[in-house]
Amino acid sequence: MITDQIEFQKLDKREPIPYSLLLLADPSRKIVDSYINSSDIYTAKIGQQTVGVIVLLTLTDSTIEIKNVAVKFEFQQQGIGSLLIKNAIRIAGSDHQKTLCIGTANSSTRQLYLYQKLGFEISEIRMNYFKKNYTEPIYEQGIQAKHLLVLTMQIPANHSN
Ligand code: ACO
């Protein structure tokens, strides 16, 4: 399995930010830049090649948000995205954070499937978030991204390793 070859590591602040991956998850460089320097970036590598990324931002003493998760197109659908999110759950648990959240568009049906399968539940809908915050309209499989769905997971206290 390809996931057996993955090395998951925190990106050193001096290393270049993997924008090409981050922009797969969020087409707005301006929005990515609004959180990237206050976040922790973790990468999934196969050898020297970075094939995936996940970005965690501490919101409060008890809440971490997954701001961005992306896998290189040719490596998608092989379990790497799930692995990245499971690692984020582990990190949030070991940091004694109680809540992990992630936001995605109403049009991101595949992502909504994945996040719910991994245990997140829809907790909030920010109406017209994409219409208000993005200059260009975004469509996925013919559906316009209008609203932001926030999904939340309560991490059990013993989920630390
Ligand atoms: N169509 C249908 N189902 C799919 C597809 C697809 N194209 N791709 C993956 N899946 C399903 C898989 O079948 C799997 O389900 P299963 O275990 O029941 O078979 C499940 O989704 C998980 O698949 P993974 O292989 O673990 O996920 P992947 O490595 O593809 O990563 C990710 C998922 C990160 C969403 C990836 O597809 C990606 O980078 N997409 C572009 C960027 C993006 O949209 N990021 C999320 C934006 S929201 C945010 O960043 C907060």
Which residue, 88, 84, 73, is CA-closest to 7? 84
70 CA closest ligand 1 atom index: 39
Q: What are phi and psi of 125, to 5 degrees?
A: -125, 120
- Ranges of residues in the chain whose predicted pLDDT is under 50: none
Output the pLDDT for position 42: 98
Output the pLDDT for position 44: 98
State the distance from the centre of ligand 1 to the C-alpha of 81, rounded, in angstroms.
6
* pTM as predicted: 0.93
Which residue, 37, 52, 54, 45, is CA-closest to 89? 54
State the distance from the centre of ligand 1 to the C-alpha of 114, rounded, in angstroms.
6
- Residue pLDDT, tens place only, 41-58: 999 999 999 999 999 999
Within 10 A of 62 (CB to CB), how many other CB atoms are there?
Answer: 13
Q: What are phi and psi of 160, to 5 degrees?
A: -115, -5
Residues linked to residue 52 through DSSP beta bridges, in sequence order: 44, 71
List residues near ligand 1 (CB under 6 A): 24-25, 66, 68-71, 76-82, 102-104, 110-111, 114
77 CA closest ligand 1 atom index: 25
Output the pLDDT for position 69: 98
Q: How many helices (H) and strands (E) does the chain have?
A: 5, 9
| Residue 8 half-sphere exposure toward CB, CA atoms < 13 A | 18
Instruction: Identify the residue whose C-alpha is closest to ligand 1 atom 10.
Output: 77
80 CA closest ligand 1 atom index: 29
Mutate which of 42, 67, 114 for ligand 1 pocket (most atoms within 8 A of beta carbon):
114
Residue 40 tokens read as: 């922790």
Handedness of CA 58, 152, 33, 114 (dihedral sign): positive
DSSP code per residue over 63-76:
EEEEEEEEE-GGGT
Instruction: Identify the residue whose C-alpha is closest to ligand 1 atom 12.
Output: 77
Output the pLDDT for position 156: 77
State the distance from the centre of ligand 1 to the C-alpha of 85, rounded, in angstroms.
11
| Residue 151 half-sphere exposure toward CB, CA atoms < 13 A | 20
